[in-house]
Amino acid sequence: MNQTKLNESGQGMSEYLILVMLIAIASIAATRTVGKSVYNKLDQIHDSLETVTIESVQKK
């Protein structure tokens, strides 16, 4: 009976580790996706700012 209780405890820990790993993988995937979007937007802003001159700002 004691041996069975130890096996169940290990099973619970394994399930917990699998769950943590799945959450970590999902978090990494989400961060990479959002990071690419943010990078692309910042790159667009950078490209737009490169074309700005003092003259174009003063005209407005």
Q: pTM of the full predicted structure? A: 0.57
Task: Kindly tell me if the per-residue pLDDT of 9 is higher than 70.
Answer: no
Q: How far apart are CA 29 and CA 18, in angstroms?
A: 17
* Beta carbons within 10 angstroms of residue 24's beta carbon: 10
Domain segments of the chain: what residues?
2-59
16-56 pLDDT tens trace? 999 999 999 999 999 999 999 999 999 999 999 998 888 87
